[in-house]
Structure formats: structure tokens, C-alpha cells
A and B are shown apart, each in its own frame.
Chain A
């Protein structure tokens, strides 16, 4: 309205006054944006959320992507852009609020997302420093930014890369994949305020089109039951170690055998009860960031989680027992090797 007056009014004074008001509003908006951006760059504060979303415009060379949305910019009314932006903020906040972690590297690393990658690309991936999302082909998959746990999963690969460094093949690779599913699911549960018994424990729910007979890509609660479709086949995930899949595909089946540690985590969370990110999540986070190494296998993870639970919650505690039983359910017997190790504080409460 002010613009119309500034342009069209016959009254010179009125035009000038409308123009000045417009200019002041733009300045105020600009100042707020700049202040907002500065705030996020301040070192010393614990919140350094710096997101940029790039539009690949259906090319598969990310070098030619253009900036679509910067930190503090309003919504663009483009679903992939706005979802990548919003969900990466949710993931940042989850790690910051629950584990006092400042971004992927613990040091305010910028979160860069690339959307509309390639044509009908049925995938999303982490390349070591950024996230890339396809739009799906519309027959099997919709866009990959639609599910918050996908964003959580991808960003967690960055956390793993900066901490345990689990190699992306064989058992360490399946463990790497599982960590991404675990924290991807926890982000979703945290945002939805769901307790362990209310969560769906599904990964990638909502990505399939309505044509596909499947509720999600994976189920942490019941590995192997997420989908069964004439075109895609049946969910190949095993639910215990005796069904470990030996294959050369998929870097040794990292997305397949992740079902085993996924199930173990679900069982720990379910047995402890309440919000899964609080105790089960804490045990897993400490394990990932302080105990595991690039070549850790499932047995190493079982042993480490038991040690962590023992040291955080005590000998014979409910949490320690939950961890033992959970791994037993997937046919791995954890061994307590270091019963008195020091664990660095990880939660916000523990800072006070």
C-alpha cells in the first residue's frame, strides 16, 4: 500500500512521506537480518547456527548451485529449500540442547544443504562436508527433504566423521549407518515430544509414494518389516547377528546390517522408558563420541555401551541391565572390560 502511495499519489508531500516510511521499514528489516546473522557468528556463545541452502536446479554438479536461502532469510515457499532449512535447524538444536554439542564438529560448523540435485534422483547423501537431496522420481520416492529423520541421519554422518570416524564398510560401516538412524530417529522424537513407547521407530516414513507397499525404508523396532513391494522386494534387514548378511553390495551391506545395532538401541530405549534421547541416547552419544574408533565392530559397540551405562548409572542399574538384555536380544553378549573409566560430561544440566 505504501508503495502504491509513493508511486501514484498526486500529493507530493504524501508521496514523500510514504517513501520515507517504506525506507525506514526496509532499514529496520535489514538491521534485524544483519544482527541476526552477527549473533549466529558470535564465538563464545554456545549457539552458532549458520545454515545455507543451495539450489542445484536439477543439475548434478553442485559447483553450479546457487544460494537459495541464507541463515535468517524468510521462507522461500519451495518445499525442498524450506524443509532442508527448517530440519537442519532442528537437528542443530537437538544436538545443542540435549548434548551441548555446537554443530556437527562441535565448533559451529556451517550447515550447507543442496536441494533439487540431479533429475528424479531417488536419494540423499552426505559428501563429507555437505548434504545433498534429490527430488525423487515420483513413482517410488517423493523428495528426500520431506522426512526430518533423513536430515538427522545425514548430519549425524558428519558427527560420526568428526568423532568415532567409523569406516564406511563392513561392520564399522553398518555401525556408522546405525548411529545415523539412531540420532535421526531421536531428533524426530525430540521434535514431536514422543516417549519411546509412542515413537514409530521408522526411518524414512513418508518418502515412498502411495504406490509402494511399505510404511518406511527401515524399522528399528522390527528390522525387515518396513516394506514388502512387488517392485522393490522385501526389506532385507536382519534383526539379530545370526542373520548377518554377507554381501559385497552396498559396501558390505552397511544399510542392511545396521538393523542389528538399530534393534539393540530400540530395545534399550524401550526397556528404560521415558524419552529415548535422555538415557539411551546419552549412552549411545557418549559411546559414539568418546569410545568408538574407525574399526569398531558390533561387539566393540556392545562392550562400550555396557561400560558407559555402568559408569553413568551404576553397577546393577536399570540402564546397565537394559543394555545387556538389548544386545542379548540381537545375539551379541557385551563384556564389561573397563569398569572405572572417566566419562566427559555431555549434557547441559551437567554444566551447572
Chain B
């Protein structure tokens, strides 16, 4: 299973992609990834946040996260620094930490 984050926006306006293929993870890391996906209820999250983007907010990062729920079936979620909850943030931090 592959999990990919496309991060855009931010003050610098740069696009960065972080991805992890769980085949490349050891069993403890695989477990961690599964836990993070479950804790954040990733596969039940709607594509966009129900919160309106804060009026006047600017230069926040925009995260587009895609993961496979089963082979050939992927789920995508889009959040910002302002609409991302702590459990989703933990998933993002984990994926970022696995980049070389």
C-alpha cells in the first residue's frame, strides 16, 4: 500500500511530495502506519474539511493525502495547517520522517 502527501501553498508556494510504500517498511513501522491511519479515521474522512477556511487566512500549507484502502482503491483527503486535526498531523509527521 502506498501513501502519498502532496503539500502545496505555504509562504514559498512550493510543491513537495512525500510518499511511503509499506513494502519498504519494517513490521514495526508498518504497524505504526496502520495505527495512524486508523486513529485518524482516514478512510472515513470526507475529501474536504467541513470547516470553512478561516476568513483572511493565508500562506498556510495545503496537504492532499492519498492512501489505498484496498488494492486498486484509493482514498484522498485535503486539509490545511488550519483544518488538520492532531491525529492526521501525526500521520503527516510520520510520513515526512520516512523521507531520506
Q: A127-B82, A249-B15 in contact; A176/B9 too (CB < 8 A)?
A: no
Establish whether residues B62 and A251, one from each chain, have CB atoms under 8 Å apart when the complex forms. yes
Interface members, chain B 59-97 (any A CB < 8 Å) = 59-62, 81-82, 86, 89, 93
Asked whether, in the complex, the Cβ of A232 is within 8 Å of the Cβ of B59, the reply is: no
Question: Which chain B residues border A19 with CB–CB below 8 Å?
Answer: none
The distance in angstroms between the C-alpha atoms of A154 and B89, with both chains bound, is: 23
Contacts of A291 in B (CB 8 A): none
Binary contact track A165-206/B, C-beta < 8 Å → 1, others 0? 100100000001100100000000000000000000000100
Which bracket fits the contact residues of A?
A: 35 or more
| Contact yes or no, B11 A251, CB < 8 A | no
Q: B15, B56, B82, B93: which contacts A250 (Cβ < 8 A)?
A: B15
Q: Which of A60, A154, A255 contacts B12 (CB 8 A)?
A: A255
Selected from B13, B56, B62, B82, the residue in CB contact (under 8 A) with A157 is B56
**A176 to B55 CA separation, bound complex (whole angstroms):** 13
Asked whether B58 is an interface residue with its Cβ less than 8 Å from the other chain, the reply is yes
Report which of A122, A127, A160, A256 forms a contact with B60, defined as CB distance below 8 A. Answer: A127
Which residues from B are CB-within-8-Å of A150?
11
Contacts of A160 in B (CB 8 A): 56
Nearest Cβ on chain A to B82's Cβ, whole angstroms: 6
Closest chain A residue to B56, Cβ basis: A161
Instruction: Classify the interface of chain A: helix, strand, loop or mixed.
Output: mixed
Q: Give bound CA distance, A191 to B53, whole Å.
A: 34
Complex-state Cα separation, A124 to B81, whole angstroms: 11
- Taking the nearest CB of chain B, how far is it from the CB of A233, in angstroms? 8
B93 nearest CB neighbor, chain A only: A119
**Interfacial chain A residues near B82, Cβ < 8 Å:** 127
Given contacts A129-B56, A157-B59, A232-B14, 19 further A-B contacts (CB under 8 A): A122-B12, A123-B60, A123-B61, A124-B11, A125-B58, A126-B56, A127-B54, A127-B57, A127-B60, A128-B54, A128-B55, A150-B11, A161-B55, A161-B56, A162-B56, A204-B12, A249-B6, A249-B62, A254-B9
Interface residues of B (CB under 8 A from A): 6, 8-15, 53-62, 81-82, 86, 89, 93
The contact sample of 12 A-B pairs, CB cut-off 8 A, is A123-B12, A125-B60, A127-B60, A141-B12, A153-B11, A157-B57, A157-B59, A162-B56, A217-B11, A249-B9, A250-B13, A255-B13
